[in-house]
Amino acid sequence: MAALVNYGGGDDLCPLFSGSSRFLSLGRNVDVYCPPRKRARVIAPLGFSFSFRGREEVAAEKQQPRSIDTLPDECLFEILRRLPGEKERSSCACVSKRWLMLLTSIRSSELVARTKTTDESVKKPMPDLSKGVCAEEKECENNGYLTRRLDAEEATDLRLASIAFGSCSRGGLGRLFIRGSSSTRVTDVGLSAIAHGCPSLRVLSLWKVPLITDAGLSEIADGCPLLEKIDLCQCPQISDKGLIAVAQKCPNLTSLTIESCSSIRNEGLQAIGRCCPNLKSVTVKDCMHVGDQGIASLVSSASSSLQRIKLQTLNISDIVLAAIGHYGKNVIDLALIGLQKVNEKGFWVMGNTLGLQRLRSIAITSCSGLTDLGLQAIAKGSPSLKQLFICKSDYLSDAGLGAFAETARALENLHLEDCNRVTLAGVSSLLKCNPELKSLALVRCLGIKDVTLCPTQIPSCVSLRSLTIHDCPGVTDASLQAVGKICPQLQNVDLSGQVGVTDASLIPLIGNSKAGFVEVNLSGCVNVTDALVAMLVKSHGGTLKVFNLDGCKQITDRSLLAIADGCSELDNLDLSSCSISDYGVAVLATARHLNLRILSLASCSKVTQKSLPFLGNMGSSMVGLNLQHCSLISTYGIGLLEEKLWWCDILS
pLDDT in tens, 167-177: 766 668 899 99
pLDDT of residue 562: 94
Q: Which residue has the higher pLDDT, 51 or 639?
A: 639
3-state helix, strand, coil in the chain (%, to 5): 35, 15, 50
**pLDDT reading at 14 higher than 70:** no
Q: Which residue has the higher pLDDT, 187 or 119?
A: 187
Best-predicted range by mean pLDDT among 107-116, 151-160, 606-615? 606-615
Decide if 298 contacts 274 (C-beta within 8 A): no
Distance in angstroms (rounded) separating the CA atoms of residues 159 and 433 = 59
Distance in angstroms (rounded) separating the CA atoms of residues 590 and 584 = 10
**pLDDT reading at 288 higher than 90:** yes
Distance in angstroms (rounded) separating the CA atoms of residues 90 and 103 = 9
In 369-476, which ranges are continuous DSSP H helix?
372-381, 398-407, 424-433
Decide if 293 contacts 287 (C-beta within 8 A): no
Query: DSSP state, 257?
Result: E
Q: Which of 333, 340, 384 is nearest to 362 (CA)?
A: 333
Decide if 343 contacts 315 (C-beta within 8 A): no
Decide if 545 contacts 571 (C-beta within 8 A): yes
Please give the distance of CA 241 from its chain centroid, rounded to a whole number. 24
pLDDT of residue 140: 43
- Three-state SS for 535-571 is HHHHHHCCCCCEEECCCCCCCCHHHHHHHHHHCCCCC
**pLDDT reading at 580 higher than 50:** yes
Decide if 496 contacts 548 (C-beta within 8 A): yes
Can you tell me the mean pLDDT for 470-490?
82
**pLDDT reading at 55 higher than 80:** no
The rounded radius of gyration (Å) of the Cα atoms in the chain is 39
pLDDT of residue 176: 94
Beta strands in 67-202 (DSSP E): 142-151, 171-179
State the pLDDT confidence band at 26, using cuts at 50, 70 and 90: very low
pLDDT tens digits, 68-78:
777 787 787 78
pLDDT tens digits, 415-455:
999 999 998 888 888 888 888 899 999 999 998 887 654 44
Q: Which residue has the higher pLDDT, 39 or 204?
A: 204
pLDDT of residue 170: 64
DSSP-assigned beta bridge partners for residue 443: 417, 470
pLDDT of residue 626: 95
**pLDDT reading at 58 higher than 60:** no
Query: DSSP state, 306?
Result: -
pLDDT of residue 25: 43
Distance in angstroms (rounded) separating the CA atoms of residues 506 and 525 = 11
Decide if 501 contacts 495 (C-beta within 8 A): yes
Distance in angstroms (rounded) separating the CA atoms of residues 106 and 192 = 10
pLDDT of residue 27: 43
Distance in angstroms (rounded) separating the CA atoms of residues 44 and 651 = 76
**pLDDT reading at 4 higher than 70:** no
Distance in angstroms (rounded) separating the CA atoms of residues 385 and 374 = 15
Q: Which residue has the higher pLDDT, 397 or 435?
A: 397
Distance in angstroms (rounded) separating the CA atoms of residues 217 and 226 = 14
Decide if 510 contacts 539 (C-beta within 8 A): yes
Question: In 3-state terms, what secondary structure has residue 166?
Answer: helix
pLDDT tens digits, 206-238:
999 999 999 999 999 999 999 999 999 999 999
**pLDDT reading at 64 higher than 90:** no
Decide if 397 contacts 368 (C-beta within 8 A): no
pLDDT of residue 601: 96
State the pLDDT confidence band at 21, using cuts at 50, 70 and 90: very low
Residues with Cβ within 8 Å of 143's Cβ and at least 6 positions away in sequence, in order, are: 171, 172, 174, 200
DSSP-assigned beta bridge partners for residue 573: 547, 599
pLDDT of residue 481: 77
Residues with Cβ within 8 Å of 81's Cβ and at least 6 positions away in sequence, in order, are: 106, 110, 111, 112
Q: Quote the mean pLDDT of the chain.
A: 83
Range in 161-170, 344-353, 395-404, 626-635 the model is least confident about: 161-170
pLDDT of residue 144: 65
Question: In 3-state terms, what secondary structure has residue 469?
Answer: strand
pLDDT tens digits, 247-285:
999 999 999 999 999 999 999 999 999 999 999 999 999
- pTM score, whole prediction: 0.79
Q: Which residue has the higher pLDDT, 602 or 7?
A: 602
pLDDT of residue 70: 77
Distance in angstroms (rounded) separating the CA atoms of residues 330 and 618 = 50
**pLDDT reading at 205 higher than 90:** yes
Decide if 473 contacts 443 (C-beta within 8 A): no
Residues with Cβ within 8 Å of 610's Cβ and at least 6 positions away in sequence, in order, are: 582
pLDDT tens digits, 481-525:
777 777 888 999 999 998 888 898 888 888 888 889 999 999 999
State the pLDDT confidence band at 28, using cuts at 50, 70 and 90: very low
Q: Name the phi and psi angles at 326, rounded to 5.
A: -85, -45
Q: Which residue has the higher pLDDT, 5 or 107?
A: 107
In order, the DSSP letters of 10-30 are: -S----SSTT--S-----TT-
Q: Which of 297, 310, 391, 403 is nearest to 348 (CA)?
A: 403
Q: Name the phi and psi angles at 381, rounded to 5.
A: -90, 0
pLDDT of residue 457: 56
Half-sphere exposure of residue 615: CA atoms within 13 angstroms, side-chain side: 32
